Structure 1
Amino acid sequence: MPLKEFQLFLVLFICSLIKSSDGGRKSPCLQSRNTASFNITRCPQDRKELENRSKLFKCEEQKQNCTTAKLYKYHCVLNSKGDGYIELCAPEVVIIGRRCTEYTTGGQFLQEHLENICTACPFKYKSSESYKYNECYKLEHPSTPSIMQEKKKEDSGDENISFVKQKDVG
């Protein structure tokens, strides 16, 4: 098989894997925008923090017609500029290409943040698992304190770190 044909085959194969994945489709979800909180200074860094924030958002109980209740999950991800965080309920999608997860307010869906490669990220992962890859929470042009600044405060014994109170999502 000539190289160009092999490359085309490989691209089509990868696309078919993405299409048949367990995650939702990357299509607009208007209800996600209504749950979004933009003034976040920090995203969950471990499973326990993620579960606590997820309980507050109650994503599976939200009325939406984007996906099944099971796939409508809490996320804390980069904004599309990479200079802040967004906390919201959104359909879980598969992120590919060793990229971080971002929410695009224009398109109103989760997708790969294409600015940087994430060396800690696997080639393919579920968007709701982005909390596992702290590298993704290093802001490119911080408009809010970065995760590393928050970590320095934690290490210095400052116990006053908290999430910004989200707006009512109910």
Structure 2
Amino acid sequence: MASWVHVFLIVHLLLIQGYMNENIHCKEAVESVETVSSCPTSKEQWDKASSRKKCWETALEQTCSDPQKFVYHCVINGYGNATLEVCAPERLILGHCTEFNEVGGVIQDQLFTKCNGVFPKCDDYYLSSEAYKC
């Protein structure tokens, strides 16, 4: 029975994500992209990188999402061959790695990479802004 509750909550969150138009092209996110050699692997490192990136400065000006959801990310690109730092609306990710699609201007699941097949393993679902955990 508990698994049905999880499925319901995930579907509900995905519907909210879609209806809130947070999967639209985000010009400010694309403009914030920087290629980096690696991503932070701890909360402390993530917070330092986030402070350096200063996403909050753009958060109030952008129109892609609620300002509180426009946050720091360090993720792979859509081809899986580069690591990017980007300020973008956070998303719920379902069992895949998180990517930033520069053409689409969105954070999304990287459908070709199952994060549960690598170490450390990702949870079945997580917020894109917590990608440092896996």
The answer, yes or no, to whether TM exceeds 0.5 is yes
1:54 — aligned with what?
A: 50
How is 1:35-74 mapped onto 2 (pairs within 5 angstroms)?
35-38=32-35, 40-62=36-58, 63-74=61-72
Aligned equivalent of 1:164: none
Larger Rg: 1
Q: Tell me the alpha carbon deviations over residues 106-146 of structure 1, each in whole angstroms, 9 at most, x when there is no partner.
A: 1000000011211111121100000100xxxxxxxxxxxxx
CA contact (8 A) 2:100 2:106 kept: yes
> In the alignment, what sits opposite 1:26?
23
- Are the counterparts in 2 of residues 24 and 91 from structure 1 also a CA contact under 8 Å? no
Greater fraction strand: 2
SS in 1 for 2:25: coil
The structure-2 alpha-carbon separation of the partners of 1:12 and 1:80, relative to structure 1 and needing over 3 Å to count, comes to same
Q: With structure 1 as the length reference, what TM-score do the two structures score?
A: 0.65
Aligned to 1:100, what secondary structure does the other structure show? Answer: strand
Question: Which residue number in structure 2 is paired with residue 76 of structure 1?
Answer: 74
Q: 1:132 to 1:59 in 2, by over 3 A?
A: same
Runs of 4+ in 1 over 3 A off after TM superposition: 11-17
Deviation at 1:24, TM superposition (A): 7.4
SS state at 1:130 partner:
helix
Q: Which residue number corresponds to residue 133 of structure 2?
A: 132
Shift of 1:15: 3.7
Which residue is equivalent to 1:139? none
State the TM-score, normalizing by the size of structure 2. Answer: 0.81
Q: Tell me how large the CA RMSD over aligned residues is.
A: 2.1
**CA distance in structure 1 between the aligned counterparts of 2:21 and 2:90, rounded to whole angstroms:** 5
Question: Residues 24 and 90 from structure 1, CA distance in 2 versus in 1: closer, same or farther, beyond 3 angstroms?
Answer: farther
- Which of 104, 109, 116 aligns to 1:107? It is 104
Distance 1:88 1:132 in 2: 17
The one-letter code of the counterpart of 1:121 is C
Distance 2:123 2:132 in 1: 13
Change in 2 beyond 3 A, CA 1:48/1:81 = same
Write out per-residue CA displacement over residues 21-79 of structure 1, whole angstroms, 9 at most, x where no aligned residue: 6x9722211100111102x1111110111111111111122121111221110000000
SS in 1 for 2:39: coil
